[in-house]
A and B are shown apart, each in its own frame.
Chain A
């Protein structure tokens, strides 16, 4: 893997919420087609890292390159057009839009996205409820919708923030299947996840975050050897 150039590369990323300094120099790489998971306790800056990469947090320094091109200076709406899709922690389903409207809201940014039919094959529930109000869906369905609407757009990389949070085991399993399916189709995924058991089944590599920094990085093969560290830091 070492010979591959990273698709997404973050160096020395600092970010602030108002006066409070949330990220203290995050470094990470994501290779093309990889699924990488950020692990860490609540409040160490995992969500902040995703939001800073997307450009949702504007008070930031450091470098973020995607396909070798700098993202820092782009206006917020240009980040997605470079090929990055974002699935926020709170899912961000719009209450005043129907399921269909939610699904087609994000503009297509590159060719190669899924058609609506393909998406409905992957998420049959959404097809049945396509005329419902977006927020009338169950939590699991909203999560599916939040992922599904990114697939139409042709983005090659997904930033997923806690997709399994608060969902029933059977739904979590379904989301795992979806992510593996996306991975098989060549999607690159940067995942923030509290559910370690879920993450270890789908990730190729892990980064551990503490106090606004990445403190360790290792492939899934080393996971057994890293268990004592993870136990210390995460309590798993």
Chain B
């Protein structure tokens, strides 16, 4: 049997894959957080709850209407995004002129409500969501066995992240977002409907969280608690990456996911805390974050 640093290579690659899967979700979620923060100057504490909501909406679409994974992949982000739009219009839009901490506190409350509602109706135990038949089974890569769905998650999340990044960097809509991130009132003075842009941004960010949620449903179990523990790790990712750069948020997400996977191989006791340790080290060396420009 081939060994890497005294560990069987299959176990090593297996944990690396788990790390890559986790990293995919960290990347998608920190991407959404960074987009929302860039435009709205608000840290969306409800991001984890919206991820959980995405998984639950997918679960309920299947359980109540028989709508399967593939249509859900389109429907869930739309539904979660639409809920985000409504929340932004009704509440978050009233917080823009206040200290950003109020946005954090409001979305924290929102996260508690969302989590509380699903806990109340569905309990805390996880519910399985079947892997879509097209992606069930696995592929023998020779050096390891790769479950197809996990391979799909890695590829799909990479496509989503890079696609979002390209949309921001290369399209007209993206240029509005970048400009409004720099100087919203001037962009609005040019005639661009910036309030609408803010609403759409929150909707898109929420939708991304929802998409991550439905993608996660077959990997992890669908549970009301799946978002709250994740969001704290994603916050650490965002502190490490700095929110000044979209690409930075994505790259940091993958790196920290892999770091977590590697830790599971070599020192499993620390795997739940390694992301926070890395965050602390980065704060010592580069307080502004790896890709950050400002405080």
Please list the residues of chain A having a beta carbon within 8 angstroms of any beta carbon in chain B.
54-56, 75-81, 86, 88, 92, 94-97, 101, 104-107, 109, 153
Contact = CB atoms under 8 A, between A and B. Distances in A.
Nearest to B169: A96
Nearest to B197: A77
Contact of A96 (B172, B182, B189, B194): B182
A64 to B, nearest CB: 14
Contact of B189 (A80, A94, A101, A104): A80
B194 A105 contact: no
Contacts of A92: 183, 186
A76 B185 contact: yes
A77 B194 contact: yes
Nearest to A155: B191
Interface in B213-244: none
A210 B196 CA distance: 39
B192 A107 contact: yes
Contacts, number: 61
A78 B182 CA distance: 20
Nearest to A81: B191
Given A77-B193, A77-B194, A96 B179 contact: yes
B118 interface: no
A88 B186 contact: yes
Nearest to B183: A92
B182 A77 contact: no
B192 A77 contact: yes
B179 A79 contact: no
Contacts of B191: 77-81, 106-107, 109, 153
B271 interface: no
A213 B183 CA distance: 29
B179 A105 contact: yes
Nearest to A106: B190
B165 interface: no
B176 interface: yes
B205 to A, nearest CB: 18
Contacts of B179: 94, 96-97, 105
Given A75-B195, A76-B194, A96-B179, 6 more contacts: A55-B189, A92-B183, A95-B182, A97-B179, A104-B172, A105-B175
A88 B182 CA distance: 15
Given A81-B191, A109-B191, A153-B191, A101 B175 contact: yes
18 contacts: A55-B189, A76-B189, A77-B190, A77-B191, A78-B191, A79-B191, A80-B191, A86-B190, A92-B186, A96-B178, A96-B179, A97-B178, A105-B175, A106-B190, A107-B190, A107-B191, A109-B191, A153-B191
B146 to A, nearest CB: 38
Contact of B183 (A76, A94, A101): A94
A109 B179 CA distance: 18
B52 to A, nearest CB: 33
A94 B176 CA distance: 10
Contacts of A105: 175-176, 179, 187, 190, 192
A61 to B, nearest CB: 20
B187 A54 contact: no
A76 B178 contact: no
Contacts of A75: 195
A119 to B, nearest CB: 16
